[in-house]
Amino acid sequence: MIILNIAVISFHGCPVARLGEKDVGGMNVYVLNVAKQLSALGHSVDVFTRTHDENDPLIVDLNHNARVIHIKAGPVSADKNALPQYINEFVANVFAFNIQTPKTYDILHSHYWLSGLASEKIRNEWHVPFISTFHTLAKTKLRARSGEKESDERILNEKFVMDISDGILVLSDGEAKDIESLYEFKSDKIDVISAGVDSDKFKPVTKKTARLKLDIDELDTLLYVGRIEPIKGLDLLLDAFEILSRSRELQLFVVGGSLIEDPELDRLRRKTVDKCLEDRVYFKGSVDQDTLRNYYCASDVLVLPSFYESFGLVALEAMSCGLPVVASRVGGIPSFVDNGENGYLIPWRCPEPYVEKIEVLLSNLDLKEFMSKAAIKKANQMSWGNVALRMEKYYESFVSFPHSTQLSL
């Protein structure tokens, strides 16, 4: 068995940050779970991330082989758009940490384009293979929704990172096609390994039990989980909810985001008031993982009307809890939501198709039960452990093992 020392660069996204807050989402969950599972296989994983809070400890141990290392780079309150100017400071402090606690790495894996820029400098010093995963792509977001704004600088830097990476790992075939078509990047450097789900954490409990824990009403319940951003399609969801509310009594829980100083959330709240929905739409902010599982289990349908999703991890978590999904046909979602089997995929960006499929599920309990069982079955095939096994083989294909340990079994 070959033991790898793996360095992960997640410059702007801390894997132990509170989920659902600004800039904290599926990428953070991905980095955290892959690190844990690779370490469970015996590998050593260090995740270098920028210090995001004055109270962040230098090192957070995930288990005995994996840790998150907080590196100072600019003020903790720095806006995401200002982060590129702190990349050099981040890299210098990564090097300083490695001098103080020496370790030789076998492979470097960056997450997001900012991390790719940092990793290019680190790779040149450490002389290790460099893998990039983008999670979101500027050109895909621009194509997905009018009004999205992404800088030319980001687009150029994404292409630069693609060019200098030894390998590009994406989460879906759709993302691979976008890199090839939108960035005109024809390369055999692209490989696909999907994300996974922790089916031990996200497992079904009875709806009654979950609703008692959350203290919510016994009504038909819709759920949205994710960041509060225009590209997530919450306006469309509120429009669909208004139409549904004309013929049935139901409630909507919006889980994610910050409940304070969020202009987008304030705008959505005003919209619920304008539509006279404020007593049936509940904005809950970010929650811990146990509470999130209860929301999945307490609900009847997860609605994910995003204009763009790199993978759509919350849909897979919901399915693992037995919750059928009605989601937009974007990104990696069609790779695990089988239309008409464990959920519904909506190709149109208007509320009526969502209303139709949500109504079908709420009105047909046998169908909902069938889709619930199918969703659990699908999710159980996509564990983080299986993802880590594929990652292990992928990493090994790049490493000549001058620094790694080989164990005889």
Under the banding of pLDDT at 50, 70 and 90, the label for residue 75 is very high
Q: Are residues 107 and 217 in the same domain?
A: no
Q: Are residues 61 and 42 in the same domain?
A: yes
Return the axis-axis angle of helices 351-363 and 365-380, rounded to nearest 10°: 100
Give the pair of three-digit tokens for residue 356. Answer: 């139709």
Q: Tell me if 201 is assigned to some domain.
A: no
Q: Are residues 271 and 348 in the same domain?
A: yes
CA–CA separation, 133 and 80 (whole Å): 18
Tens digit of each residue's pLDDT (9 = 90 or more) over 240-295? 999 999 999 999 999 998 888 889 999 999 999 999 999 999 999 999 999 999 99
Strands 5-10 and 44-50: parallel
Q: Tell me if 202 is assigned to some domain.
A: no
User: Exposed e or buried b for every residue in 136-166, given b needs 16+ CB within 10 A?
Assistant: bbbbbbbebeeebeeeeebbebbbebbeebe
Q: Are residues 253 and 130 in the same domain?
A: no
Contact 4, 396 (CB under 8 A): yes
Q: Tell me if 104 is assigned to some domain.
A: yes
Q: Tell me if 270 is assigned to some domain.
A: yes
Instruction: Look at residue 9 and give its three-state secondary structure.
Output: strand
Q: Are residues 189 and 262 in the same domain?
A: no
Q: Are residues 376 and 389 in the same domain?
A: no
* Half-sphere exposure of residue 217: CA atoms within 13 angstroms, side-chain side: 13
Per-residue CA distances from 384 to 37, 41, 74, 195, 389 (Å): 7, 12, 33, 7, 9
Q: Are residues 122 and 253 in the same domain?
A: no
Q: Tell me if 394 is assigned to some domain.
A: yes
Q: Are residues 39 and 113 in the same domain?
A: yes
What is the count of structural domains for the chain? 2
Q: Tell me if 52 is assigned to some domain.
A: yes
CA–CA separation, 303 and 301 (whole Å): 6
| pLDDT number for residue 22 | 57
Q: Are residues 376 and 324 in the same domain?
A: yes
Q: Which of 96, 297, 116 is nearest to 213 (CA)?
A: 297
Domain range for 83 is 2-196+384-406
Q: Are residues 340 and 375 in the same domain?
A: yes
N-to-C CA span, the chain? 7
CATH of the domain at 359: 3.40.50.2000
Q: Are residues 16 and 134 in the same domain?
A: yes
Tens digit of each residue's pLDDT (9 = 90 or more) over 391-400? 999 999 999 7
How far does CA 373 lie from the centroid of its chain? Answer: 24
Q: Kindly state the percentage of the chain with pLDDT values over 70.
A: 96
Q: Are residues 182 and 245 in the same domain?
A: no
